[in-house]
């Protein structure tokens, strides 16, 4: 096998970075009603898949996501960047799913696609879980490479460098497998205008839990094992000191850091 024929990229809509994030005090969940945007970390995963597609045009890139129906507006950007189609699992009963419940839903959606390669970003910018890829690989019983700083596909294998504190591990896994890329792996492309114009003509499928053969109580809040007891404001920042540069700012900063034994 040369390049994989089908790559699934798991992507998520997150609240727009410019919007103030709000927690609903009743449900203790993130309020997702405002403007959304593609999770930045996931765009690195998509870029990596699109690079495979650039090199071999027969490759199909399918985006798999779970979220409210309006998430399709954000996911269309993935189509504009070059993905072939989107599958969005959207279901009232799925709201409130924790990472474990989410992995159950996405695993079902991915089984339906049976891709040769599944690529994810390292984490979502809203909840910063960074475990979904591990849970997915476990459910699908597939090998997994995380924190991939490079990705090479050849002879039916994925080969990645994984960044460590001291250098790189080189890891190889047989396809099909799951790869979670780090945000250092690439610089995601902009969607082109033609991409934006063409995106609406590409398949955008929404599926329900029933379509995936899942019962409502297996997922959502009912199927989650995480429970949020309380949420609090982050601690206020300590006293700040403002240094105006009058030619001696550098010295003052060094003095400040030295006094606290940071330097």
Partner 1 sequence: MDFELSAEQREIQALARELAEAEIEPHAAAWDREHRFPRELFGRLAELGLMAVCIPEDLGGAGADFLSYILVLEELSRADAGVGVAVAVHTSATTLPLVRFGTDEQKKELVPPLARGERIGAFALTEAGSGSDAAALRTRAEPDGDGWRITGVKQWTTNGAYAGTFLVFARGEAGISAFVLDAETEGLKPTGEHTKLGLHSSSTTDLVLDGAYAPRARLLGEEGKGFHIAMATLDGGRIGIAAQALGIARAAYELSRGYALERRQFGQRIADFQAIQWKLADMATELDAARLLVYRAAWLRDRGEPHGEAGAKAKLYVSSVARRHTGEAIQILGGYGYTKEFPAERYYRDAKITEIYEGTSEIQRLVIARSILGLGERAVPTPA
Chain residues that interact with partner 1, rule: CB under 8 A: 73, 76-77, 80, 190-194, 196-197, 199-200
Taking the least distance from each CB to partner 1, the nearer of 80 and 105 is 80
Instruction: Report the C-alpha gap between 217 and 223 in whole angstroms.
Output: 6
State both tokens at 88: 């969005």
Taking the least distance from each CB to partner 1, the nearer of 56 and 192 is 192
CA distances from 17 to 35, 141, 157, 174, 222 (A): 9, 35, 36, 37, 29
Shortest reach from residue 240's CB to partner 1, in Å: 14
Taking the least distance from each CB to partner 1, the nearer of 71 and 199 is 199
Count of beta carbons in the 10 Å neighbourhood of residue 108: 20
Taking the least distance from each CB to partner 1, the nearer of 154 and 200 is 200
The torsion defined by the Cα of 224, 147, 49 and 130, in degrees rounded to 10, comes to 20
Shortest reach from residue 89's CB to partner 1, in Å: 21
State both tokens at 201: 């003509």
Instruction: Report the C-alpha gap between 82 and 196 in whole angstroms.
Output: 9
Taking the least distance from each CB to partner 1, the nearer of 121 and 191 is 191
Shortest reach from residue 180's CB to partner 1, in Å: 25
Instruction: Report the C-alpha gap between 9 and 7 in whole angstroms.
Output: 6
Q: How many CA atoms lie within 13 A of 208 on its CB side?
A: 6
Shortest reach from residue 177's CB to partner 1, in Å: 32
Shortest reach from residue 38's CB to partner 1, in Å: 11
């Amino acid at each position: 096998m040369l390049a994989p024929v089908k790559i699934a990229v798991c992507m998520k809509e997150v609240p727009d970075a410019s919007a103030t994030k709000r927690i609903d005090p009743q449900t203790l969940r993130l309020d997702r009603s405002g403007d959304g945007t593609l999770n930045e970390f996931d765009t690195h995963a998509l870029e990596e898949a699109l690079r495979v597609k650039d090199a071999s045009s027969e490759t199909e890139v399918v985006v798999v996501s779970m979220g409210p129906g309006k998430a399709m507006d954000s996911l269309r950007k993935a189509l504009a960047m070059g993905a072939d189609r989107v599958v969005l699992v959207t279901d009232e009963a799925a709201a409130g799913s924790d990472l474990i419940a989410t992995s159950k839903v996405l695993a079902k959606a991915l089984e339906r696609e049976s891709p040769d390669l599944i690529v994810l970003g390292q984490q979502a910018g809203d909840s910063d879980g960074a475990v979904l890829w591990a849970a997915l690989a476990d459910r699908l019983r597939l090998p997994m490479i995380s924190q991939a700083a490079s990705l090479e596909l050849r002879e039916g294998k994925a080969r990645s460098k994984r960044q460590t504190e001291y250098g790189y591990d080189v890891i190889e896994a047989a396809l099909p497998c799951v790869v979670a890329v780090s945000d250092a792996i690439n610089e995601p492309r902009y969607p082109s205008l033609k991409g934006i114009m063409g995106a609406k003509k590409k398949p955008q499928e929404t599926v329900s839990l029933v379509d995936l053969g899942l019962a409502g109580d297996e997922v959502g809040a009912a199927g989650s094992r995480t429970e949020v007891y309380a949420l609090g404001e982050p601690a206020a920042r300590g006293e700040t000191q403002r240094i105006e540069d009058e030619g001696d700012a550098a010295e003052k900063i060094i003095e400040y850091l030295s006094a606290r034994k940071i330097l």
